[in-house]
Amino acid sequence: MRIILDTDPGVDDALAIMYLAAQEDAEIVAVGSVHGNVPAPLGALNALRVLDLVGLDPPVTVGAAKPLAQPLQTAEFVHGDDGLGGHAGPPPRGSLAPGSAAEQIVRLARANPGELTLLALGPLTNVALAVLLEPDLPDLLRSVVVMGGAVTVPGNITPYADANFYHDPEAADLVLGAGFPELVLVGLDATEQARVGADWLNALSELSGPRADFANKLLDHYGQFYSTMFGEHSCTLHDPLAAAIMLDSKLAGYRTMPLGVELTGTHTRGQVVSDLRSISSDAYISTNAGAGRVPIKVAEKVDVPTFLDQMFNSLKS
Protein backbone atom coordinates (compact mmCIF):
# COMPACT_ATOMS: atom_id res chain seq x y z
CA MET A 1 0.00 0.00 0.00
CA ARG A 2 1.38 3.42 -1.00
CA ILE A 3 0.43 6.05 1.54
CA ILE A 4 0.25 9.82 1.85
CA LEU A 5 0.37 10.53 5.57
CA ASP A 6 -1.29 13.64 6.98
CA THR A 7 -0.39 14.06 10.63
CA ASP A 8 0.09 16.30 13.70
CA PRO A 9 2.89 14.61 15.70
CA GLY A 10 1.94 14.23 18.54
CA VAL A 11 2.86 11.15 20.59
CA ASP A 12 0.38 8.70 19.04
CA ASP A 13 1.11 10.09 15.55
CA ALA A 14 4.80 9.36 16.16
CA LEU A 15 3.91 5.82 17.26
CA ALA A 16 1.83 5.40 14.09
CA ILE A 17 4.84 6.37 11.95
CA MET A 18 6.98 3.84 13.84
CA TYR A 19 4.28 1.20 13.37
CA LEU A 20 4.04 1.88 9.61
CA ALA A 21 7.81 1.83 9.18
CA ALA A 22 7.88 -1.75 10.44
CA GLN A 23 5.19 -3.04 8.02
CA GLU A 24 6.54 -4.60 4.85
CA ASP A 25 3.35 -3.89 2.92
CA ALA A 26 3.37 -0.14 3.64
CA GLU A 27 5.26 2.57 1.79
CA ILE A 28 5.02 6.15 3.05
CA VAL A 29 5.22 8.15 -0.18
CA ALA A 30 4.95 11.61 1.39
CA VAL A 31 4.06 13.31 4.66
CA GLY A 32 2.23 16.54 5.39
CA SER A 33 1.89 18.15 8.79
CA VAL A 34 -1.19 19.90 10.08
CA HIS A 35 -1.97 22.05 13.10
CA GLY A 36 -3.55 20.04 15.90
CA ASN A 37 -1.57 18.56 18.73
CA VAL A 38 1.11 21.21 18.06
CA PRO A 39 1.49 23.98 15.45
CA ALA A 40 2.03 22.65 11.91
CA PRO A 41 5.70 23.75 11.54
CA LEU A 42 6.67 21.91 14.73
CA GLY A 43 4.62 18.89 13.65
CA ALA A 44 6.60 18.74 10.39
CA LEU A 45 9.91 18.82 12.28
CA ASN A 46 8.66 16.07 14.58
CA ALA A 47 7.67 13.96 11.57
CA LEU A 48 11.22 14.38 10.22
CA ARG A 49 12.64 13.35 13.60
CA VAL A 50 10.61 10.15 13.79
CA LEU A 51 11.17 9.27 10.13
CA ASP A 52 14.91 9.69 10.65
CA LEU A 53 14.81 7.36 13.65
CA VAL A 54 13.14 4.63 11.58
CA GLY A 55 15.36 5.19 8.54
CA LEU A 56 12.80 6.68 6.14
CA ASP A 57 13.08 9.89 4.16
CA PRO A 58 9.87 10.68 2.24
CA PRO A 59 9.26 14.35 1.47
CA VAL A 60 7.72 16.21 4.42
CA THR A 61 5.79 19.42 3.81
CA VAL A 62 4.30 21.85 6.30
CA GLY A 63 0.51 21.98 6.13
CA ALA A 64 -2.24 24.31 7.28
CA ALA A 65 -1.27 26.60 10.15
CA LYS A 66 -4.87 27.23 11.19
CA PRO A 67 -8.32 25.65 11.02
CA LEU A 68 -10.65 26.85 8.25
CA ALA A 69 -12.95 28.93 10.45
CA GLN A 70 -11.81 29.14 14.05
CA PRO A 71 -8.70 30.20 15.95
CA LEU A 72 -5.78 27.80 16.35
CA GLN A 73 -5.99 25.62 19.44
CA THR A 74 -3.31 23.04 20.18
CA ALA A 75 -2.98 20.20 22.71
CA GLU A 76 0.45 20.44 24.34
CA PHE A 77 -1.28 19.53 27.60
CA VAL A 78 -1.57 16.00 26.19
CA HIS A 79 1.56 15.67 24.04
CA GLY A 80 4.09 17.97 25.75
CA ASP A 81 5.39 21.39 24.72
CA ASP A 82 7.48 19.85 21.93
CA GLY A 83 4.71 17.41 20.90
CA LEU A 84 6.94 14.44 21.72
CA GLY A 85 6.59 14.37 25.48
CA GLY A 86 9.71 16.48 26.03
CA HIS A 87 11.87 14.06 24.00
CA ALA A 88 12.07 15.79 20.61
CA GLY A 89 15.81 16.30 21.08
CA PRO A 90 18.03 18.23 18.65
CA PRO A 91 16.80 19.63 15.31
CA PRO A 92 16.13 16.90 12.73
CA ARG A 93 18.75 16.11 10.10
CA GLY A 94 16.38 16.10 7.15
CA SER A 95 14.93 19.24 5.60
CA LEU A 96 11.40 20.17 4.67
CA ALA A 97 10.09 19.88 1.11
CA PRO A 98 8.65 22.99 -0.60
CA GLY A 99 4.94 23.67 -1.11
CA SER A 100 2.02 23.00 1.17
CA ALA A 101 0.67 19.67 2.38
CA ALA A 102 -2.61 20.22 0.48
CA GLU A 103 -0.75 20.93 -2.78
CA GLN A 104 1.35 17.82 -2.21
CA ILE A 105 -1.77 15.65 -1.82
CA VAL A 106 -3.25 17.04 -5.04
CA ARG A 107 -0.02 16.73 -7.03
CA LEU A 108 0.60 13.13 -5.96
CA ALA A 109 -3.03 12.08 -6.48
CA ARG A 110 -3.07 13.53 -10.01
CA ALA A 111 0.24 11.85 -10.85
CA ASN A 112 -0.86 8.44 -9.50
CA PRO A 113 -4.62 8.20 -10.12
CA GLY A 114 -6.32 5.44 -8.16
CA GLU A 115 -3.09 4.27 -6.52
CA LEU A 116 -2.57 6.19 -3.28
CA THR A 117 -4.21 5.83 0.10
CA LEU A 118 -4.48 8.93 2.26
CA LEU A 119 -4.12 8.34 6.00
CA ALA A 120 -5.24 11.40 7.99
CA LEU A 121 -4.26 11.36 11.66
CA GLY A 122 -4.90 15.01 12.57
CA PRO A 123 -7.51 17.71 11.92
CA LEU A 124 -8.74 17.50 8.34
CA THR A 125 -7.75 21.01 7.22
CA ASN A 126 -5.19 19.86 4.62
CA VAL A 127 -7.55 17.26 3.19
CA ALA A 128 -10.37 19.82 2.95
CA LEU A 129 -8.06 22.29 1.22
CA ALA A 130 -6.96 19.54 -1.18
CA VAL A 131 -10.61 18.83 -2.06
CA LEU A 132 -11.15 22.53 -2.71
CA LEU A 133 -8.04 22.66 -4.93
CA GLU A 134 -9.01 19.48 -6.80
CA PRO A 135 -12.73 18.63 -6.69
CA ASP A 136 -11.99 15.30 -8.40
CA LEU A 137 -9.75 14.21 -5.51
CA PRO A 138 -12.27 11.58 -4.30
CA ASP A 139 -11.85 9.74 -7.61
CA LEU A 140 -8.08 10.17 -7.75
CA LEU A 141 -7.30 8.46 -4.44
CA ARG A 142 -7.59 4.73 -3.89
CA SER A 143 -9.00 5.21 -0.41
CA VAL A 144 -8.98 7.51 2.60
CA VAL A 145 -8.64 6.46 6.22
CA VAL A 146 -9.38 9.09 8.85
CA MET A 147 -8.71 8.96 12.59
CA GLY A 148 -11.33 11.25 14.01
CA GLY A 149 -14.83 11.63 15.35
CA ALA A 150 -16.97 9.77 17.85
CA VAL A 151 -20.13 8.38 16.25
CA THR A 152 -21.72 6.26 18.96
CA VAL A 153 -19.48 6.96 21.96
CA PRO A 154 -18.55 10.09 23.96
CA GLY A 155 -15.88 12.48 22.74
CA ASN A 156 -12.52 13.06 24.38
CA ILE A 157 -11.60 16.75 24.13
CA THR A 158 -15.27 17.60 24.81
CA PRO A 159 -18.06 15.26 25.90
CA TYR A 160 -19.22 15.21 22.27
CA ALA A 161 -16.22 15.65 19.98
CA ASP A 162 -12.88 13.97 19.42
CA ALA A 163 -9.84 16.27 19.27
CA ASN A 164 -9.24 15.98 15.52
CA PHE A 165 -12.80 16.97 14.53
CA TYR A 166 -13.01 19.59 17.30
CA HIS A 167 -9.83 21.27 16.03
CA ASP A 168 -11.44 21.89 12.63
CA PRO A 169 -15.16 21.01 12.42
CA GLU A 170 -15.69 22.76 9.07
CA ALA A 171 -12.89 20.75 7.48
CA ALA A 172 -14.20 17.50 8.96
CA ASP A 173 -17.71 18.20 7.63
CA LEU A 174 -16.37 19.10 4.21
CA VAL A 175 -14.34 15.89 3.97
CA LEU A 176 -17.18 13.63 5.19
CA GLY A 177 -19.40 15.22 2.55
CA ALA A 178 -16.87 15.30 -0.29
CA GLY A 179 -18.04 12.04 -1.85
CA PHE A 180 -14.99 9.84 -1.29
CA PRO A 181 -16.17 6.42 -2.52
CA GLU A 182 -14.05 4.59 0.09
CA LEU A 183 -13.67 6.58 3.31
CA VAL A 184 -13.03 4.61 6.50
CA LEU A 185 -13.56 6.50 9.75
CA VAL A 186 -11.53 5.14 12.65
CA GLY A 187 -13.03 7.23 15.42
CA LEU A 188 -13.12 6.87 19.17
CA ASP A 189 -15.75 4.11 18.67
CA ALA A 190 -12.78 1.96 17.60
CA THR A 191 -9.73 3.59 19.13
CA GLU A 192 -11.01 3.71 22.72
CA GLN A 193 -10.83 -0.09 22.57
CA ALA A 194 -7.08 0.25 21.96
CA ARG A 195 -6.32 1.44 25.48
CA VAL A 196 -3.22 -0.25 26.86
CA GLY A 197 -2.71 -0.73 30.58
CA ALA A 198 0.21 -1.26 32.93
CA ASP A 199 0.88 -4.85 31.80
CA TRP A 200 1.38 -3.92 28.15
CA LEU A 201 3.35 -0.77 28.98
CA ASN A 202 5.59 -2.65 31.43
CA ALA A 203 6.27 -5.39 28.89
CA LEU A 204 7.23 -2.76 26.32
CA SER A 205 9.55 -1.10 28.80
CA GLU A 206 11.54 -4.36 28.89
CA LEU A 207 12.41 -3.96 25.20
CA SER A 208 15.54 -2.11 24.18
CA GLY A 209 16.80 -0.65 20.91
CA PRO A 210 16.38 2.78 19.34
CA ARG A 211 12.69 2.39 18.45
CA ALA A 212 11.60 0.81 21.71
CA ASP A 213 13.65 3.29 23.76
CA PHE A 214 12.06 6.25 22.00
CA ALA A 215 8.56 4.75 22.19
CA ASN A 216 8.99 4.11 25.91
CA LYS A 217 9.99 7.73 26.53
CA LEU A 218 6.97 8.97 24.56
CA LEU A 219 4.64 6.59 26.36
CA ASP A 220 5.98 7.61 29.78
CA HIS A 221 4.77 11.13 29.10
CA TYR A 222 1.54 10.14 27.37
CA GLY A 223 0.78 7.58 30.08
CA GLN A 224 1.15 10.21 32.79
CA PHE A 225 -1.52 12.33 31.13
CA TYR A 226 -3.89 9.37 30.89
CA SER A 227 -3.09 8.28 34.45
CA THR A 228 -4.16 11.69 35.72
CA MET A 229 -7.38 11.40 33.72
CA PHE A 230 -8.33 7.80 34.49
CA GLY A 231 -6.48 7.12 37.74
CA GLU A 232 -4.55 4.17 36.28
CA HIS A 233 -1.39 3.69 34.22
CA SER A 234 -2.74 3.47 30.68
CA CYS A 235 -3.02 5.27 27.37
CA THR A 236 -4.95 5.04 24.11
CA LEU A 237 -3.26 4.22 20.80
CA HIS A 238 -5.59 6.19 18.51
CA ASP A 239 -3.40 6.86 15.49
CA PRO A 240 -1.52 3.53 15.38
CA LEU A 241 -4.87 1.71 15.33
CA ALA A 242 -6.03 3.78 12.34
CA ALA A 243 -2.79 2.88 10.54
CA ALA A 244 -3.28 -0.80 11.36
CA ILE A 245 -6.90 -0.85 10.16
CA MET A 246 -5.82 0.87 6.95
CA LEU A 247 -3.39 -1.98 6.24
CA ASP A 248 -5.69 -4.78 7.42
CA SER A 249 -9.38 -3.93 7.20
CA LYS A 250 -10.26 -7.24 8.92
CA LEU A 251 -8.99 -5.82 12.22
CA ALA A 252 -12.38 -4.14 12.64
CA GLY A 253 -16.08 -4.61 11.98
CA TYR A 254 -17.93 -1.74 10.30
CA ARG A 255 -21.23 0.05 10.08
CA THR A 256 -21.83 2.12 6.94
CA MET A 257 -23.76 5.38 7.07
CA PRO A 258 -23.71 8.97 5.82
CA LEU A 259 -22.27 11.42 8.35
CA GLY A 260 -22.06 15.14 9.02
CA VAL A 261 -20.41 17.27 11.69
CA GLU A 262 -22.17 19.71 14.03
CA LEU A 263 -20.99 23.23 13.20
CA THR A 264 -23.32 25.44 15.23
CA GLY A 265 -24.17 23.59 18.44
CA THR A 266 -23.84 25.59 21.63
CA HIS A 267 -22.18 22.67 23.38
CA THR A 268 -21.70 20.16 20.60
CA ARG A 269 -19.58 21.86 17.92
CA GLY A 270 -17.37 19.22 16.29
CA GLN A 271 -19.68 16.31 17.17
CA VAL A 272 -20.35 13.71 14.48
CA VAL A 273 -24.00 13.83 13.43
CA SER A 274 -25.57 10.57 12.26
CA ASP A 275 -28.98 8.98 12.03
CA LEU A 276 -28.72 5.94 14.29
CA ARG A 277 -32.47 5.23 14.27
CA SER A 278 -33.28 1.79 12.97
CA ILE A 279 -36.29 2.94 10.98
CA SER A 280 -36.87 3.44 7.29
CA SER A 281 -36.08 7.05 6.52
CA ASP A 282 -38.77 6.91 3.80
CA ALA A 283 -41.39 6.20 6.45
CA TYR A 284 -40.45 8.92 8.88
CA ILE A 285 -38.79 12.29 9.26
CA SER A 286 -35.47 12.06 7.44
CA THR A 287 -33.73 15.14 8.80
CA ASN A 288 -30.11 14.15 9.00
CA ALA A 289 -26.90 16.10 8.49
CA GLY A 290 -25.64 13.25 6.33
CA ALA A 291 -28.63 13.18 3.99
CA GLY A 292 -27.62 12.74 0.35
CA ARG A 293 -24.01 12.03 1.21
CA VAL A 294 -21.91 9.04 0.19
CA PRO A 295 -21.91 6.62 3.17
CA ILE A 296 -18.82 6.37 5.36
CA LYS A 297 -17.43 3.07 6.70
CA VAL A 298 -17.28 3.52 10.47
CA ALA A 299 -14.94 1.14 12.30
CA GLU A 300 -16.58 -0.39 15.35
CA LYS A 301 -15.57 -3.68 17.01
CA VAL A 302 -11.76 -4.07 16.94
CA ASP A 303 -9.58 -7.18 17.16
CA VAL A 304 -7.55 -5.59 19.95
CA PRO A 305 -5.21 -8.52 20.80
CA THR A 306 -4.05 -8.83 17.19
CA PHE A 307 -3.49 -5.09 16.89
CA LEU A 308 -1.56 -4.87 20.16
CA ASP A 309 0.67 -7.77 19.12
CA GLN A 310 1.39 -6.02 15.82
CA MET A 311 2.12 -2.74 17.60
CA PHE A 312 4.42 -4.41 20.11
CA ASN A 313 6.31 -6.31 17.42
CA SER A 314 6.76 -3.17 15.32
CA LEU A 315 8.75 -1.60 18.15
CA LYS A 316 11.05 -4.62 18.55
CA SER A 317 12.81 -4.18 15.23
Q: Which of the following is catalytic: 87, 173, 238, 239?
A: 238
- In the residue annotation, 238 being an active-site residue is answered as yes
Among 42, 121, 128, 150, binds Ca ion (CB under 5 A): 121
Helices (H) and strands (E) in the chain, counts: 13, 12
Query: Rg of the Cα trace of the chain?
Result: 18
Binding-site size for Ca ion (CB under 5 A) equals 6
CB atoms within 10 A of CB 70: 14
Contact predicate 99/233, CB 8 Å: no
The interface with ligand BDR within residues 25-64 (CB under 6 A) comprises 37
116-120/272-273 β-pairing:
unpaired
78 binding ligand BDR? (CB under 6 A): yes
Is position 13 an interface residue for ligand BDR (rule: CB under 6 A)?
A: yes
Query: Minimal CB distance to ligand BDR: which residue?
Result: 163
The Cβ of residue 24 has, within 10 Å, a number of other Cβ atoms equal to 6
82 has catalytic annotation: no
Amino acid at 73: Q
Which residues between 209 and 248 bind ligand BDR (CB under 6 A)?
Answer: 238-239
What is the rounded CA–CA span in Å between residue 6 and residue 44?
Answer: 10
Q: Does 122 bind Ca ion (CB under 5 A)?
A: yes
Taking the least distance from each CB to Ca ion, the nearer of 240 and 290 is: 240
Please select the residue that binds Ca ion; options are 5, 10, 78, 118, rule is CB under 5 A: 10
Query: Closer to ligand BDR at the Cβ: 164 or 288?
Result: 164
**From residue 141 to residue 180, what is the string marking binding to ligand BDR with x (rule CB under 6 A)?**
------x--------x-----xxx----------------
- Separation CA 209–CA 229 (nearest Å): 30
Residue 312 neighbours by CB under 8 Å, 6+ apart: 200, 203, 204
Q: How far is the CB of 187 from Ca ion (least distance, A)?
A: 12
E-strand ranges in the chain read 2-7, 27-33, 60-61, 116-120, 143-147, 183-186, 195-197, 234-236, 252-257, 260-261, 272-273, 296-302
**Counting contacts by CB under 5 A, is residue 184 touching Ca ion?**
no
Residue 83's binding partner among Ca ion, ligand BDR, none (Cβ under 5 to 8 angstroms by kind) is: none
Q: Which residues bind ligand BDR (CB under 6 A)?
A: 10, 12-13, 37, 75, 78, 121-122, 147, 156, 162-164, 238-239
| Residues annotated catalytic, as ranges | 8, 238
Contact residues for Ca ion (CB under 5 A)? 8, 10, 13, 121-122, 239
